[in-house]
Structures are given as C-alpha cells and as structure tokens.
Chain A
Amino acid sequence: MIRAIDVTKAYHVEGRLHRAVNGVSFTVSRGEKLALIGHNGAGKSTLIRLLGGVELPTSGIIEQTMSVSWPLALQGGFQGSLTGNDNIRFIARIYDKPFADIKAYVEDFAELGKFLSEPVKIYSIGMRARFAFALSLAIDFDCYLIDEIIAAGDQRFQRRSHEELFEKRADRSMILASHMGEMIKSYCSRALVMHHGRGNLFDDIDLALRVYNDL
C-alpha cells in the first residue's frame, strides 16, 4: 500500500512560493491502478517524483508498505554519459540483482541490440523509454510509477508493455500519469484529477476524464 497524507511540495518561483503539489491525499492498495490526470504543469510529475522519493515533500507524509519503482519518465534515473550496459550494471548492483539476468531481460524486452554498449545520452526518446521500462520490469517492483513513458514508444513496445505489466503482472500496483484517455480507461480503476497542485479522487474514470476535459 502507498498512502499520501496532505502532501505538499513548494518551490520558489520568481521569489514567491509556488505549491506544485498542494495538500494531496490518497491511498493505493496492492494491485490497484491509479491514473493521474491533469494539464501540463498541474503537478503530476512532481507528485510522482515525491512518491518515488526523488524529492522530499515540503509537508505531509508518504507511507509505503510495498516496493515502489523509481519514476519511469522521459528524464532521470540514468547516467547519460555511461553506456546502457554500465547503467544496467549499476542498477543491478544497487538493487542487489544478478547482472546477467537483468541484462538478458533488458536485451530481450528493450530490443536495443548494439546500442546497449553506447552512452544512454544518444538514445532516442523511444529507446530510452524501452530501456527504462525493461530495467524496472527486470528489477520487479510491487508498484510502478509511470510518467507518460509508455506513450513514447511505438506500437510494438506498447503492446509488449501491456502484456508484461497488465497480463503477466496484473497483481502489481501502478500509478500512471497520462494524457491518453484510452489507455487510462483500459488500465485504471480510479483517477486523481490534478489542477493547480490540488487533487480530486474519482472512482469513475469516465467522470474523471469528463471533469479533466472541462478544466
């Protein structure tokens, strides 16, 4: 379970305090899939970084009783100047998993071929998405934090992610920030609609999407 209680993150913007996330509370149980919906700048990515422990909340509490992935986003999580293989080695080491197994999985899933021996900074966005996703699946978490990244891949990648995450690992939790209504409808059972840092929880996805479209 993950529980967020009155979580706020404030930054200084032009000398004034800006609350990117403002008093958000919710709970995600094991196996549950929560969508984060909101316009750009509504606070979705900040909330995901807070849940991943990358940044610390200014106030409020985040509790977790399951293992939570790092935020799978278009940026962050890798050392750009190191090769894919070196990044795999580093991550396998810190998560205490055998390098050979992780590498075999990533090779199979990400289909990056010889690019694994090239620096990650030269990867295209789609390649990066596949790489990040493959690595986090190989490490195996109870809950995945996904910030838009599935949409960055091609059809084949989206189909394979679907298989891996929603069929083989249907018992896992997920927090998915996305603008894609179809994806949210088919995967998520609840939604947190975010607007100017505030969050409203909906049990009805269709209603949540309608509210978002009217914002």
Chain B
Amino acid sequence: MRDFWKDLDTQRRVVGALLVREIYTRFGREGLGFGWILLEPLIFAIPVLLVWSVVRNPYEHGVPLIPFLWSGYLPLLLFRHVGARMLLFVRVNAGLLYHRQVTIFDVFVARSLLEVISNLSAVAASFALFYGLGWVDLPYNLPMFYLGYFFTIWWSLAVGLIIGGLSERTEWVEKLWQPYSYLYIFFSGFFVMATWLPEGIRRWALLQPSLQAYEMIRAGMLGNYVKTYYDPAYTSLVLAVLTLIGLLLMRESRKYVVAE
C-alpha cells in the first residue's frame, strides 16, 4: 500500500514535469506563452462560427443556429486535436523514455491533459463571449451538458489511445487519419441530430459514441427545441471497451520503440 502511494506520488510529479515541458515546447516562453492555450482554439473557433452564422438561417430544423454550431464545433476541435497530437506520439517522445520513471502512459496523460485544459478554457471563454453578445442562452440543463462534454472528452481520449498505439505499427493509420478527421464532421453528430434521421438509419447512427455525446450536449444546451436520443450506460460501456483496447495497444507499442 505504501508503495502504491509512493508510485502515485512519482507519477504525479512526472506528469507535472511533463506538462510544464509540453507547455514550454509548444507555446514557448516568450510573448503570450501560456496564453496560447486559450487563444489557439478560439482563433480556430470564432471565425468559423461567425461565418456559419452569417451564411445559414438563424434556425435550422427549428433549432437556433449559433448554440447548435457552438456546441458542435468545440467538441469537434477537441476530438481532432487530441487525435492529431497522439499520432506517432510514442515515437516522437522516445527521448523522454531515457528516464525510467517516465512511462509512455505519463506522456499520454500530460499531453491529453493539456489538450483538455486548452479546450475547456476555450469552451468557457467563447461561451462567455457569445453570451455577452446575446447569441447563446445559458444551457437548459447544465448537468446534462456537462455529462455530454464528459463523454466527448472520454471518447476523444479513447480514440487518441487507439490511433496513438496503432500508428506505431502501420503507416496506414497516419494516412487515413486526415480524411477521417474531415469526414468526421459529417457523421459525428456535429451537423446532424438523431431526430432528423430516418428511423432505420438513426438506430445505427446511435451506435457511435460521438453522436451519443453530441445528443447529450444538445439536450443540455437546447432542451425543449429538439427531441434527443441518448443512452449513457451504453456509451460508458463502449468507451470502457475502447479505452481498454487503446491501453493494450499503447503498451504493445512500447516494444516497437526505437530510441534515437
């Protein structure tokens, strides 16, 4: 038991050190530095949201457009950024494995933590901005919104683990990720709500954890405007299985690492 606490303390220290290192290497130490953590996703999100809201009608299928896009785009950013950061991440960080208390899992935790913190700050900041402008209302059901976002994070990390582990084995993963992460816009649930789909297709579409998470976010965000479909128990089960597969793949990939 004592060893367990000692190990946990070591891991906490290592993850902390990796996090600081990741911030320095990614954002540098001059200029805005850490401020980029917030600004980076916002620079992505705000122009896209503005353009969309100008081009499209204010209501789509009876759904207010800006809250719909806002709640769609930020989860998409998280998913795509986590994926991109995890491609070949074992290989890229092989240098860190020179220090034996640094495990590949610590590197994964530090990297994903930074992505999640960055994304959540952007969620908060962009919400405050849009709310100030009167473009979005407070979520109809805040706990449901949080639950949906929790599943979004879990889904992004589970996929990150899997493609992180698989990309060390075959170059196919790296090549397929780009088209996949574009097409993801269309089938993830960003643009489509389950209720708009014909019943036959809806049942199949709802097998996707991403659509489940989006439905929960929309239920929390929009409430009465739309009918939503979701099953947190099913989503948890699928994500637990995906996480387990991802962890095994990542452990396996350690064998293939060739240090510089």
- A-to-B contact residues, CB < 8 Å: 11, 49, 52-56, 58, 68, 70-71, 75-79, 81-82, 86, 89-91, 93-96
- The stretch from B50-58, B91-99, B133-141, B229-237 touching chain A is B91-99
Given contacts A70-B99, A94-B13, contact A55 B258 (CB under 8 A): yes
Contacts of A86 in B (CB 8 A): 21, 24
Quick one: given A54-B259, A93-B17, are A78 and B95 in contact (CB under 8 Å)? Answer: yes
B143 at interface, CB cutoff 8 A: no
Query: Residues of B at under 8 Å CB distance from A?
Result: 10, 13-14, 16-17, 20-21, 24-25, 94-102, 254-255, 257-260
Task: Specify the chain A residue showing the minimal Cβ separation from B259.
Answer: A54
A110 to B136, CA, bound (A): 58
**Given A55-B258, A94-B17, A96-B13, A70–B25 Cβ distance below 8 Å?**
no
Taking CB as reference atom, which chain A residue is nearest B10? A96
Give the nearest-CB partner of B101 in chain A.
Answer: A94
Q: In the complex, what residue of chain B is closest to A72 when comparing beta carbons?
A: B98
Please name all residues of chain B whose beta carbon is closer than 8 Å to the beta carbon of A89 when the two chains form the complex: 17, 20
Contacts of A90 in B (CB 8 A): 17, 20-21
Q: How far is the CB of A179 from chain B (nearest CB, A)?
A: 21
**Complex contact B100–A52 (CB within 8 A):** yes
User: Considering residues B21, B99, B101, B258, which has the most beta carbons from chain A within 10 angstroms of its beta carbon?
Assistant: B99
Is there contact, CB below 8 Å, between B98 and A94?
A: no
Closest A residue, CB atoms, query B21: A90
Known: A70-B100, A86-B24, A94-B14. A76 touches B257 (CB 8 A): no
Interface centre among A78, A82, A89, A90 (most CB of B within 10 A): A90
Q: Which of B21, B24, B94, B98 contacts A70 (CB 8 A)?
A: B98
Whether B97 lies near A54 (C-beta < 8 A) is yes
Chain B residues contacting A68 (CB-CB under 8 Å) are 100
| Given known contacts A75-B260, A79-B25, A82-B25, A56 and B95 CB-to-CB distance under 8 angstroms | no
In the assembled complex, which residues on chain B have CB atoms less than 8 Å from the CB atom of A49? 259
The distance from the CB of A161 to the nearest CB of chain B, in whole angstroms, is 20
Say how far A196's CB is from chain B's closest CB, in angstroms: 19
Q: How far is the CB of A72 from chain B (nearest CB, A)?
A: 10
Contact B21 A55 (CB under 8 A): no
Determine if B21 and A79 form an interchain contact, defined as CB atoms under 8 angstroms apart.
Answer: yes
